[in-house]
Each structure stands twice: as structure tokens, then as C-alpha cells.
A = this chain, B = another copy of it.
Amino acid sequence: MGNKINVAIVGYGNVGKGVLSALKQNADITASAIFSRSPERVKKEGLSLPVYSIDAIEKLKGIDVAILCGGSKDDLPAQGPQFAALINTVDSFDNHSKIPEYFAQMDSVAKKSSKVAVISAGWDPGTFSLERVMGTVVIPNAKMYGFYGLSPKGGLSMGHSDALRTINGVKDARQYTHAIGEAIEKIRNGENPTFTARDMHWRECFVVLEEGADKEKVTQEIVSMPGYFEPYRTVVNFVTEEELKAQYAGFPHDGLVIGAGVLGGGEKALVEYRNTWESNPVATGHILVAHARAAYRLAEERKTGAFTILDIPPAYLTNKSREELLRSFV
């Protein structure tokens, strides 16, 4: 199989591990290297892949696509343009309010370097973006809504878990987001409601306290944290370290894109897309790998610049042949 697409994994956290895991199910793509800010730490994991410093750009030679697995807050704003100046890239940039700016920057860099930069290729943004657009394609006047944590346990939010851990007296914590079912029913009923954040989700925290910390004080600090918890109904549960590890491990998440409206003659219409992941970062890894395939194909066509999932023919994401797609998928 000399014709495999060669990718590099840039950043070996949860998402980077998810990418490596996803490659087991994508036989046409192989990873040839990992790039990390802490190569010595990654080397200790005993992987069979070479691990390089993120600055070892000479090691990108022969690699088709760099899959950027860093975070959107601190890593990608710098790494995205750095890598797009050198190589085709894919990332899951998910800071929604900054996507236009990031797209413009990546587009400009990748056009100059004659490379392809696929951005925001996770599930939200990513496959959910596709569903939001497709919802309004089939129901032009639908308002599209996103819900997270519909499963009984809810969806683990890394960002909110991290926020909890910044609080004095909190030793460890995990936050599960829950969708509010009544809000979803209102949409299904065609009400096209206007919601506040609090109408759509509530938040559940499992907190391990430092010894001697004050439950009341910590609870107050959590529920009043602006942006993260203050706008929501928030339930705080205190658990032992053992309980947290045993019952609240892993990265489960799930979500729903939903929209309803009326068609041209006044006929009611509704679309819903739901995904459920036992592991959020592995799911993101799978989606990144599929977009690395698309990036490679776009580059083969001499396309350049930034792309989102909306700019890519869906067939580019799969390794199924046109014949198989026409026979079994269309």
C-alpha cells in the first residue's frame, strides 16, 4: 500500500489520540509522525511512530496532510497559520465567534503557500454545521437549534470541567451538560421559540473537594460563575475522588441539531440530526481523519485556501468508490 495518504498528528492530547485510533478504521490513511510541544513526554507512551518537536518542520517532508489537534484557544491561532504556510492542514477549530476571522487568516496563508487548509472539522463545528445548513436548505424558514447532552447521563463538557478546577477548594471535577427536553418539544411542535441559554440546558457538576474546603462557599462560587454557570440552572454534587474516577470517567457526549418550519404552501416540516459518542475526542479524531482525506483530494486538484465542510463535496470525505456510492448509498 504505497499509495496511502500520509498524515502527521500535531499535538498528542485526547484529540491526537483519537486521530491515531481513527486510523485503525481508515485503511487508506496512515500516520507517519507525531509532532508535539513535549516530544519527550509523548515518546514515553511507547508508540511505534517517530515523535518530533513541533518546531522540527524539516520532518514534514513527504507528509501529505498535518492534522492539527491542539486547542482552539491557545494552540490553533498560532499553529494553524504556521503549518498552513508549509503543508495541507486539517483542524477542529471550535471557537464559534472567531471562525470568520480564523477562516480569513487560514485562507490567506494557504492561498499564498498553495496549500489546502480545512478548518473546524469536528462535530460542532463540523458535521453539525453541515446539518444546520442542510436544515435551512430543505426548510428555508427553519430556525436551527443545537442541543447537547440528551442522553440520561448528559454530555461531558471539558471546558466547564476545567472551569470548575480553577475554583479554590476544588481538587477535581467533571461537568455534564443536560438538554432540556421541554425546549426540544417546543421546536418539534413548530413553535420556533426564542430561548435563553437557561431554557435549553442545565448543568450538573461532580466535585471533589480539597480537604477542609467549604461546600457552601464552593457551591456559591460555581453557580455564580459568569458565562459558564451563572446563566444556567446548575446542580452541584460532591463526590469522593474514587467515585469521580469510577462513575464519571471517559468523554461521553451527544447532541442534536433540530429545526422546524413550514414549506412554501404552509406545510409543516421538521428535521433532526442526532449523534451520540461514547468518546467525544475519538469521534472528533474520526471526523478529522475523513477531512484529511478530503484535503488530500482537494490538493490533488490543485485547489488552495481554506475550506470548511460546507465547501467540500461529501464524496471526498469517504474512501468508498463512486461505483459503491451510486450502488449502495445514493
On A, residues with C-beta under 8 Å from B are 18, 20-26, 96, 99-100, 103, 120, 123, 125, 127, 129-134, 136-141, 144, 263-265, 267-279, 282-283, 285-287, 290, 308-315, 317-318, 320, 323, 325-327, 329-330
Q: List 22 A-B contacts (CB under 8 A).
A: A21-B263, A100-B327, A103-B330, A125-B330, A133-B315, A133-B317, A134-B314, A137-B286, A140-B286, A263-B283, A264-B282, A264-B286, A268-B277, A268-B278, A269-B275, A269-B283, A271-B274, A271-B276, A272-B272, A272-B275, A310-B315, A312-B313
Q: What separation, in Å, do the CA atoms of A263 and B275 have in the docked complex? A: 13
- Give the copy number: 2
Is B264 within 8 A of A133, CB to CB?
no
Q: Are B133 and A138 in contact (CB under 8 A)?
A: no
Contact indicator B310/A329 (Cβ below 8 Å): yes
Residues of B close to A267: CB separation below 8 A: 277-279, 282-283
> Chain B nearest CB: distance from A138 CB in Å?
6
CB-CB nearest in chain B for A22: B264
**CB-CB < 8 A to A144: which residues of B?**
329
A22: which B residues are within 8 A, CB to CB? Answer: 263-264
User: Shortest beta-carbon distance, A84 to chain B, in Å?
Assistant: 17
Whole-angstrom distance between the Cβ of A203 and the nearest chain B Cβ: 23
A272 to B25, CA, bound (A): 21
Give bound CA distance, A278 to B266, whole Å. 9
Question: A141 is contacted by which of B25, B285, B327, B330 (Cβ under 8 Å)?
Answer: B25
Q: Who on chain B is nearest to A310 by CB?
A: B315
Q: Which of B103, B275, B314, B317 contacts A271 (CB 8 A)?
A: B275
CB distance from A312 to the nearest CB of B (A): 6
For A311, what are the chain B residues with a Cβ–Cβ distance below 8 Å? Answer: 313, 315
